[in-house]
Amino acid sequence: MGFIGKLFGSKPSLEKMRSALEQGSYADALHLGEDLLAGGDETSELAESLIAASDGLARMNYDEGIRSQQAGDTQLAVEHLQLALAQARSVALIREIDLALAHDPTSVQLRPEDQPQPVLSKGASCAGCSPASVSAEVSTDELPDLQSQIELIIASYPAEMQQAYLSRSKPFMQAFMLVHCGEDLQALPLWEEVPREERDEIYLFELGCLYARQGEAGKGVAMLRQALELSPGNGLMIDALLSLLVDQGDQSAASKFLQAQIDTGANPAFCYARLCELQATSQETSAAYESANKALAGGYAEPDFLVLAASLFEAVGRVEDAEQMLAGLPGGGCGGGINLPLAELWLRQNRELARVLDAFNDACRQEPENPRWQLRVAQTYLARKWRKQGLDLLQRVVGDPRLEEGLRLEAERLLAEV
């Protein structure tokens, strides 16, 4: 789940943002994107992803507004549609929301020129894409504003938890918002003001994550375990506790925790997927392959997991199955095309090299700061017997200090062979 990184402050990345978008976790994607933008990332892919995240949130509120209109709840419809209009970035979606608002003559429409001005990236963008990001002012004073802001944050939470968050008292909502603005210490006294009747699994979950971020891992683990006891099988809580155990460097405890969850029947497909990731990290390839099979049999299909599972299937010779998994993932670039994990598989199999080269060239344009794709282009040149172009590019990229160590070794081995 994409928002776990936000809970424990792990480093944002475009890969995590892509995953959040693919899962429909638009609030997570927006948080990650804004963090990347603040850190100086100005790539066109980030700009496009920020637009997609903003439009995704807007679409959710637009849909709620339309449902409220159809149910005859005019006031709620206007609230959702105005929120959607404030979030929307694409011209077509803004017009669509405008038309829906026009059905209610009493509504106050937020025109595009009245919306908060986007932060523009300096990087190039694909044709038809305009890079933008929204940074909203956070208020913890008025309850209706708090509810609207919290709706954005919890958009990717399980549906039953979303309603529970929105029905909380003002101290809870204020503390929650401060936490998600990075003001943990300022939020701590407010958590003490939360009424006793609200100190349930959600309260324990939020407070446990806070303590974990503040370096009190033992206290955080204890509270997260209490939360999970009150809400058995809760995927969000399982993932949070697992992330904390992994961050502590206790792989054994993390594996035992997941196995205990599986034994109690708690979300087995999800737990097997996470167990597979742990086992793969520990080089337990056979065990990871078995866990991947069990997760897939249970219907687990999160994109990052499918990429890992495909690599395990390829390693044991089940190449067609691996290809089928990757073929179901979204393509790359503004114009579609094959996705990068599939392109890398085909490169290893020496297949469809023209399409593979297109995919890697597009990745170089989208992520010019990532030499991985320049290496893949060089490898594809060599696979196509374009020795001069491949060797020239390979010699340049092998010395790039941004190249990951594993990829550098790969490049050096290839250079020695050619």
Q: What is the CATH number of the domain that holds 410?
A: 1.25.40
Q: Is the same domain home to 15 and 53?
A: yes
Q: Is the same domain home to 24 and 80?
A: yes
CA–CA separation, 127 and 133 (whole Å): 18
Using the structure block, give the residue that is written with the tokens 């392109």: 343
Pairwise pLDDT comparison (335 vs 122), residue with the higher score: 335
CB under 8 Å to 65, separation ≥6 — which residues? 76, 77, 78, 79, 80, 81, 84, 97, 100
What pLDDT is attached to residue 146?
65
Asked if the structure places residue 405 within a domain, the reply is: yes
Asked if the structure places residue 98 within a domain, the reply is: yes
Distances (CA, A) of 106 to 90, 99, 193, 313: 25, 14, 39, 59
Asked if the structure places residue 214 within a domain, the reply is: no
> In this prediction, what percent of the chain has a pLDDT beyond 90?
35
Distances (CA, A) of 178 to 34, 41, 139, 150: 17, 25, 9, 11
What pLDDT is attached to residue 203?
93
Q: Is the same domain home to 309 and 410?
A: no
Q: Is the same domain home to 319 and 337?
A: no
Asked if the structure places residue 393 within a domain, the reply is: yes
Asked if the structure places residue 58 within a domain, the reply is: yes
Of 136, 170, 196, which residue is a domain's last? 136
Q: What is the pLDDT of residues 364-398, one digit of tens each?
A: 888 888 899 999 999 999 999 999 999 999 999 99
Q: Is the same domain home to 340 and 324?
A: no
Q: Is the same domain home to 1 and 107?
A: yes
CA–CA separation, 32 and 391 (whole Å): 37
What pLDDT is attached to residue 125?
29
Query: Is the pLDDT reported for residue 122 higher than 60?
Result: no
Q: Is the same domain home to 67 and 112?
A: yes
Instruction: List the one residue out of 140, 88, 142 whose CA is nearest residue 115.
Output: 88
Mean pLDDT, the chain, integer = 80
CA–CA separation, 237 and 233 (whole Å): 8
What pLDDT is attached to residue 347?
96
Domain count, the chain: 3
Q: Are 148 and 177 in contact (CB under 8 A)?
A: no
Average pLDDT of span 146-165: 77
Give the range of the structural domain holding residue 348, as residue numbers without chain letter. Answer: 332-417
In which band, very low, low, confident or very high, does the pLDDT at 332 lie, cut at 50, 70 and 90?
Answer: low
CB under 8 Å to 202, separation ≥6 — which residues? 161, 164, 165, 168, 227
Q: Are 234 and 201 in contact (CB under 8 A)?
A: yes
Of 79, 105, 136, which residue is a domain's last? 136
Q: Is the same domain home to 322 and 343?
A: no
Instruction: Write down the H helix ranges in 39-119.
Output: 44-70, 74-87, 91-101
Pairwise pLDDT comparison (249 vs 173), residue with the higher score: 173
Of 329, 348, 373, which residue is a domain's last? 329
Q: Is the same domain home to 26 and 1?
A: yes
Q: Is the same domain home to 305 and 280?
A: yes
Q: Are 101 and 78 in contact (CB under 8 A)?
A: yes
DSSP string, 203-259: HHHHHHHHHHHTT-HHHHHHHHHHHHHHSTT-HHHHHHHHHHHHHTT-HHHHHHHHH
pTM over 0.75: no
What pLDDT is attached to residue 298?
92
CA–CA separation, 408 and 41 (whole Å): 23
In which band, very low, low, confident or very high, does the pLDDT at 191 lie, cut at 50, 70 and 90?
Answer: very high
